[in-house]
Structure 1
Amino acid sequence: MGLEHPLVRDVFPELVSELVALLEEEGESELAICAWDLRLVAGCGCTDAFCQSFKTEPHPDGQPFGPGHRCVPLSPSKGMIILDVVNGKIMYVEVLDREPLQDIRVGGNGPATQVTPGPAEPD
């Protein structure tokens, strides 16, 4: 993956600070370190207004995660945050039932994708 995808900490600094703190609380220090360098690859593409989830890595072969996958549910004060982790790498951040982060566009080499709130749509 190239550097064309913005760092999540540059786009959502409060969310990354919260992720790091929540991961530390869960005893997930290695993931807490990794959370600092996550890249915002794409929105989830769903049409649910309560969802602000996003990919931090491309899915393997465009498919679900497969072997080495685990879910890491966190306990934020509001809403839900669940991480999809494959072999120690955070691949996807589920952000549900929370106030909107902000409306940003990510893209890289292809058309930009709306990350929050709502569905992913090309510009």
Structure 2
Amino acid sequence: MEHDQPLVRDVFPDLIAEVATLLQEEGESELAVSVRDVRLVGECGCGDDFCQSIWTEDHPPGQPFGVGHRCVPLLPSKGTLVLDVVDNRIMYIEIVDRPPMRRRSVER
């Protein structure tokens, strides 16, 4: 299956390495493995300068996640990282009050 969206680890490798480590520390081993394969579907777009959140799955804007949803708050050294997970699939990574992420250029 071909994917148009890049892997988040190719665009923001430091973020994915940190999230994977934090998930392991929280005992979320399955999510720690799966976060390495999430795709950058979109950016939050809220316009707040403190928000760098990203979508990792398609989801209708403004709609609740529904049954099977859970939040996974992590404990980074700076800012806030929270995952929205539905049926063990990472849908959204909330990234708030953190230093600007370094975007790596992804060639196609």
Please, what TM-score do these two structures have when normalized by structure 2? 0.90
What pairs with 1:17-96 in structure 2 (closer than 5 Å)?
Answer: 17-59=17-59, 63-96=63-96
Which deviations, in whole Å up to 9, do the C-alpha atoms of 1:36-59 show, x marking residues without a partner?
Answer: 001000001101100000100011
> Is the contact made by 2:57 and 2:92 (CA closer than 8 Å) also made in structure 1?
yes
> Is the contact made by 2:69 and 2:87 (CA closer than 8 Å) also made in structure 1?
yes
For 2:48 and 2:62, locate their aligned partners in 1 and report how far apart those are by CA, in whole Å: 21
Give % identity.
61
Runs of 4+ in 1 over 3 A off after TM superposition: 102-105
How many residue pairs get aligned? The number is 106
Alignment RMSD (CA, Å): 2.2
Does residue 13 (structure 1) correspond to residue 9 (structure 2)? The answer is no
Q: Would the alpha carbon gap of residues 74 and 61 (structure 1) be closer, same or farther in structure 2, given more than 3 Å must change?
A: closer
Alignment gaps of 5+ in structure 2? none
Q: Would the alpha carbon gap of residues 13 and 40 (structure 1) be closer, same or farther in structure 2, given more than 3 Å must change?
A: same
Please, what TM-score do these two structures have when normalized by structure 1? 0.79
Q: CA deviation at 1:64?
A: 1.9
Alignment gaps of 5+ in structure 1? 106-123
Which deviations, in whole Å up to 9, do the C-alpha atoms of 1:102-123 show, x marking residues without a partner?
Answer: 4689xxxxxxxxxxxxxxxxxx
- Secondary structure at the counterpart of residue 36 of structure 1: helix
For 1:39 and 1:3, locate their aligned partners in 2 and report how far apart those are by CA, in whole Å: 9
Q: Would the alpha carbon gap of residues 13 and 64 (structure 1) be closer, same or farther in structure 2, given more than 3 Å must change?
A: same
